[in-house]
Structures are given as C-alpha cells and as structure tokens.
Structure 1
C-alpha cells in the first residue's frame, strides 16, 4: 500500500492550479441518468471517487468516454450517455466505497420510476443517515421500502407527482437527490430549507442547461416545475473550494506565498475570513487567490456550519494549520459527531490538542516533528500532509487511498511549489 513521504520545513511558493470540485463532480455525473442524450462534463478531476462513480453508472447501463484528455492535463472531459438504462439497482460492492453513490436514487426514480440502492459507505466520520433523502422522495410521492441493506423506491404509475419537501435540517445530499428527482416529476415541487452550497448552485445550473425549470437558485427555497424529459448538455465542473482552502492552509503553515489559480473567492468567503483572522494575507484576483503568511499565525475560534458558514470539510486542515499559531484556538464541529479522528495522529507529531465533546482546543506549539501517521478519512489525510509540510524531519502518511479520493495529483502540485514530498510503495 502506498505512503506519502514528506521532508518538512520548506516554504511553499509559486502557483497551484485548482482542479474541478470533487463534491460537484459526483453530483453532476448522475444527472446523465435523467436523459437518453449525452452529458459532457469538462474540468472533471482525476480522482478515485470519480472513477468509482463512473463504474456505478456503467453498471446501470450508461457509457462513459474520456475525450481529448492527455496524461499531463489536470482536468478531464467525460461524456456520459445513458441511452437505455439496463438496471435500476446500485449494488453494494460499488456503493460501499463512497457515500455519494446514494445520489443515483433521485435520478433513477425520475427517469425509470424506480430505484434499488444499497445503503452507502464512504468516510467513517460519524453517523450520516439517509433518512432525509428518503423522506424527500416520499414527499414527492415515492413509496419506500428498506430491506437487507437496500433502499427500494417506486413511483406509483412510473412517475413522481411532485410535492413539497421541507427539510428539518439542512442536508446537501438530500437537497441534491430531491432536485434530481423533481426535475422530471409530473407536477411542481417546492424544496424548503434547501442547502445553499456552491455545489448545489452548480447542480441547478447543470440541470437548467439540460432543460430543467428551477427558480430560487442559491436560496433556501427552490421551486421546480417538472419536465417530461431533459436533453443533453455540455457543462464545466466548478473549481474545488475545499482543495483551494487546503492548499491555502499548507501555504500558511509553512510561511509561504501561493497563488491558487482558478479558485473562486465568492465560494470561499468563510474560509477566506478565517484565514485573514488567523493573520494570513489573502489577495483576490480575477480567477485566482493569492495566499501569503509572512508573520506568526494568530489563534482563532471557529465553528462549522452549513454554507455560507465555515465548511466542515475545512475543519481538519485548519486544525493542522493552527497547531503553529501563537496561542490557543477553539474549533467546534457541528455537522458530524466523529470528525476528530486526526487528533491522535497530529498529537504524534507534537500537536497539543484537547477534545471535549464536539469542541477541540488547539494550543499552538513552537514546532512539529515528523512521525509515522495514519490517515483515517479524506480531509483528515490532508491535515496530516499540512502538518508534515511544517514538521521537522520526515513524516510518513499511510492509507493514502483516502487522499486519492479527493485530491488530484497532490504530490505533483505540492512539489511544484517547493515541497519535498513523494509517494512511495511498500515494495
């Protein structure tokens, strides 16, 4: 199994090109199930999760073709065509690998009137039930049955009538599934307390490009008028705001200066505000963000929240960065209850972190030291990389398949801005 080896202490300086967003790509790909015409996605990141989702679409009868993509290119162009669905079942052996697989539920019901989907897997960061997904389908007229680890959903008469979906709490995935089910319903659907993440906006814009009727995009109330059919489209995946924020933390902890080419500042307001509060200089340009850290980092207080609040997917990276702050920071995780599994690994590198319930106090230390550490989930993996970049000596990060799920060519990008980092195999 591969490991990442980092020799810390180098100041990062230069330009990093930000890839297409993982979380957006995995939401846009199932849109192809809603039409028999091709959907072409540009700026698709080269990630293990994208490949896994492509395999899942193949299982359902869709073809996937990579066009005009050279090995040296970062983004890919993928054309997905689901001319005829050969199956409406998403099997356990694929779905168990990533939670995003549940996002075929809505489009399968919308296109075929039925879906059988295994309960999902993904990172072990806490309890992430899909009850909100199922209640949304029921609110639009689906009949739901749970049996033997599978969800079976059926639209009576072969097509959902539509309805009113009111989420008790904000859920990104449930909002996405509800949207994809609603766009081909017989009637209208209103989604209340919808998630407002940029990836939701990206999904709405892609669906509109395919002929969907959606109003209220970017707000907490979405109104969808169902269409008899959608058509194909060509659409570019938005830049990855989490990747950009991760590299911003890497630049800051090393006292570096890095331009994040392609990053969209308007999608990262909470991250940028937290960086500035921590003493990091952020310059916004047209289609890029420059992050510089010349002086000591300042301690801050952060609490994760749905967009436009501070993203839970940035919590681990900020925790690593704040290990070098001059004072004590307080982080509170409100989204997932088990998202501090990186803390013991950071402690192996000399970090001083105390966790009480959903809050963590991070007391800045004079220096981190390299160690052998183990990745526990995707964003936790990146926190260990960030800490390793600033640590004295060598850091080895194992179980890096987590990183491959969400960061495209990480070693190559960091090496280009001065990091001493490489991937090594056990052999």
Structure 2
C-alpha cells in the first residue's frame, strides 16, 4: 500500500470491513483527505466492534486485531446513519456466518449499489433501500459475475447545474431519479423549467433512470432555506450546487449546511466569480441574486 497516498484519502477506512476475515492482525494508515469539517472515524469503530474488531490508535496508523468469527447472529444500531459507516458494516457482515441486522442504516444510492452487488455474489440481504438491513453472510465468496455500478446523482446534478446557470437547453441522460426527486422538486419551486422522460432501468436492473432536459428559466429565491437531509432528502453532496443556482435566482436564498463546519465558508469563493454570498456562520450563507458571472481563479478544498 502507498501509505502517503492512502493518508490523503478518506476511503482507506473502507478497508476495515472487508479485511475483517482476511487477516487476524493488520495496520492501516490514518484516514485523511477531507477539509470540509470534523469527520470522526468513531462510528466506523462502533459498528465494527460488533464483529469483535479491536482497534488501537498508534502514531500515524491504526493497529487492528480481528478475532475469528463466532458464527453468532447479531443486531446493532449505528450511532450515525453514515453512508461509508453502513457500507463498512455491510461488507463485514457479508463475509461472516450467521445473520446480522443493522438498524439506522443509510439507504443512500451507494449503499444500495453495494447491496445489489453483494446479492449478485450470493449474499442474502433484506431491506435494501430502508434503514434496517438483514444480512445473511457467506464465509466463502468465489463467483465470477458481471456488474454495472449505477449512475451517480452527484454527477447528474453537476450537469443539470451547468445547464441552469448557463441558461441552456441541455439534456442529461440516465439520471437516477430516485435519488434526485427532492432536488428536482426544489428546482421546480424556484421556477426552473424541466422536461423529464419516462423511467427506465439502469444496467444493474434495479436503479430507476430518467432523462432530464433543462430549459432557460427566470429563477426566484425559494421562501424556505435549502438544506440537506438523509435519503430520501436532498443529498448533502448536492447542496453546494444550489449555492451556484441561487446566484441566478432573483432574491435572497439561505443555504444551511448543518453537516459540515467548513463547507459554507468555501462557498464564499463564488464571490470571486461575481456572486453575492454572505457568510452568516460556519453552517449558513445568504446568496443574493441574480448574478452577473465573471471569470476568475477559485480554490477547491480536498474532499475525497
């Protein structure tokens, strides 16, 4: 493992669950790669302790001990309904004999995609798309399959935003509508004209897709603040796009990012592009529009 590269990403923490039954002892470098706010790994540890995992923080790395599986059934509640926390717990349960019930699980798009993939591998998972998952693990997984990860709602929202801000008619195909419904409803409330096609399935056979066409529109600031919520609410990673979109709207829009301590601060970079963003506190901004955009050099925080 390239330790220095691993320390620059948050995803290294995702190896804890899959390695649970692969090695009795191992070390992992500290997770990094995100400057959006304080992001503790304790929810991951709390979840994986249910499987007997023991983790000790050393200088620059985690020392991990993973005892052999006892084969017992287990039920536990996640202290945080996090996407990666849920995925780590799912991957740990998938390889362990017995039945695991995970409550307060995230039902977000990447979690569902992982469940669909594991089901193709023969792992029994009930409750996909809900906050309670029941997983019957397979100690031995050795099958060849072909699988296609579903389309990304964050990528789709970025393209929709580009169409809106440039007053363009743009068609974005293969939009995962189940994970975009609140975003599209919010846009409609702001006066954005959209054409949405009929639904069809992604190549994984499970995710519902549509094509979305943006139309040049006169936007108005919503009466209520725009804020994220766990799925099926507005996706936390789609929230920054609404700061840009609000720059095109007539009136004042409040953006409330209650999740991260620093991300609202970074949105003031839009002022370099001509926006009128007022920082109220580390979690809230006002965006006053409409904006006459101009070119400029802006910085982007690391958030892997």
What TM-score comes out, normalization by structure 2 length?
0.89
Partner of 1:354: 278
Separation in structure 1 between the aligned mates of residue 21 and residue 127 of structure 2, nearest angstrom: 21
Q: Which residue of 2 aligns with 1:119?
A: 30
- Asked if the contact 1:175–1:195 (Cα under 8 Å) also holds between the matched residues in 2, the reply is yes
Query: Which is further off, 358-367 or 158-167?
Result: 158-167
Residue of structure 1 equivalent to 2:175: 263
Aligned-residue offset at 1:259: 1.0
| Shift, 1:168, TM fit | 2.5
Which of the numbers 196, 220, 225 marks the counterpart of 1:298?
220
Work out whether residues 110 and 183 of structure 1, in 8 Å CA contact, stay in contact via their aligned partners in 2: no
Cα 1:150–1:164 shift into 2, 3 Å:
farther
Task: Check the 8 A contact 2:172/2:212 in 1, yes or no.
Answer: yes
1:208-357 superposed matches below 5 A: 208-232=119-143, 233-285=145-197, 286=199, 287-300=209-222, 301-357=225-281
Which of 105, 108, 112 is residue 197 of structure 1 equivalent to?
Answer: 108
The CA distance in 1 between the partners of 2:30 and 2:141, in whole Å, is 28
Spell out, residue by residue over 1:267-298, the C-alpha distance to the aligned partner (whole angstroms, 9 max, x if none): 21121112212211222224432232333112
Per the TM alignment, residue 162 of structure 1 is displaced from its structure 2 partner at its CA by 5.6
Gaps of 5+ in 2: 200-208
Q: How many Å separate the matches in 2 of 1:185 and 1:224?
A: 9
Following TM superposition, by how much is the alpha carbon of 1:182 offset from its aligned partner in structure 2, in angstroms?
0.7
Could you tell me how far apart the structure 2 residues matched to 1:110 and 1:334 are? 36
The CA distance in 2 between the partners of 1:195 and 1:187, in whole Å, is 22
SS in 2 for 1:289: strand
CA distance in 2, matches of 1:114, 1:199: 28
Cα RMSD (Å): 1.9
**Alignment partner of 1:222: what SS?**
strand
Q: For 1:6-405, what aligned pairs fall within 5 Å after superposition?
A: 59=1, 92-157=3-68, 161=72, 163-232=74-143, 233-285=145-197, 286=199, 287-300=209-222, 301-357=225-281, 358-377=283-302
| CA distance in 1 between partners of 2:291 and 2:51 (Å) | 56
* 1:114 Cα deviation after fit: 4.2
User: Secondary structure of 1:266's partner?
Assistant: helix
Q: Secondary structure at the match of 1:211?
A: coil
Q: Deviations over 1:286-329 (max 9, x none)?
A: 44322323331121221112111111111111101111110111
Work out the CA distance in 1 between the residues paired with 2:6 and 2:71: 24
> How many residues end up aligned between the 2 structures?
290
Query: What CA distance in whole angstroms lies between the structure 2 residues aligned with 1:223 and 1:162?
Result: 10
TM-score normalised by structure 1 residue count: 0.64
Structure 1 stretches lacking a partner, 5+ long: 1-58, 60-90, 379-404, 406-427
C-alpha contact (below 8 Å) 2:9/2:33 kept by paired residues: yes
Whole-angstrom distance in 2 between the partners of 1:143 and 1:182: 16
CA contact (8 A) 1:259 1:288 kept: no
Give the CA deviation at 1:181. Answer: 0.5
Shift in Å, 1:161: 5.0
Q: Are residues 201 and 310 of structure 1, via their aligned partners in 2, closer, same or farther at CA, if it must alter by over 3 Å?
A: same
SS in 1 for 2:264: coil
- Specify the alignment match of 1:84 in structure 2: none
